Structure 1
């Protein structure tokens, strides 16, 4: 794999790579072995030149006049995103959403292994969910000390999200995926991504309303 040509790869490019990967995996399941930027662009709802530009950040792909090997491009994108290896994760907040995520097989199938579940509710501590015992959040640091955990998933109520993030930071977990509808603050060198259902619902509501007004 040729290393990236720039250290300042746009965030939007990284986000689009995940879409390309999702579509390519669908192509692979459908038995498609070779594709070009045009059908890939159509399936991803972008233009073909954008796909070619995004891929050039990470090296040279495809053969002119032939196209891309679907299997090869999947492998290359996975390497570019750093998901060609497995990642250990922990989850904080074992409510309804947390329980659903713990039982979601797609995590492990994509290389993200949830190895710990934590909550501060004494009625939940000790409960077993999807093979994991729920442990008190105060014990997070000692529990993950030797598990090589890199990612923490927050599914707490919004008012407890910052406290959950503080525990994850204290444990040295550098990446946080926050499902709670609240913004959190972490030190420099730590990374936060948000899964905001309401943001998507607001966008849908606006698009529908805007179409009805026009």
Structure 2
């Protein structure tokens, strides 16, 4: 069974139940992804239409709900856990169950797409498709934010919670920044579970901000 099916059928809900209390303690005011979205929103011209934001790996939608309460934004989420999606919907987030390789959204539907700590668990054979789907649903110009494990060289490790599943750490910018339409504007590496610097590569996490700007713009 492919990893996406494992998470759609069981492990997504198991992850949600296992991490529910921890997620409830997150201070979104100190969240680097939130800070990046707020910075992007703050630089939009006056009178712009609502910011269209999609988070892939949205969990129970806490981050999206926090942003929606503070921004003029349409927030959408995607997660493999049916339980997490139901909780996000109860918070007013337009969330759906699914995986990153098949986004159930229209072309050019979003100004910002966030990968919320999910790419390290995706099937490697889906990575080209995941990049294609992200590019398809992003407008031009738009922003892409990737929050995930980081490794300069690809690493594969067993996933502790489910036999046969693996986590894959890499520099996920490489899925996009080879393309001339994508430029990395910011990339910060810190320790997993915090914002401090860390010398242990197994614990590296990065928040990467990429700009999509491929067409002719004045």
Identify the TM-score tier after normalising by the shorter chain: 0.3 to 0.5
Q: Which has the higher helix share?
A: 1
The structure number with the bigger radius of gyration is: 1
More strand by share: 2
Q: Quick one: higher RCO (CA 8 Å, sep 6+), 1 or 2?
A: 2
| TM-score calculated relative to the size of structure 1 | 0.43
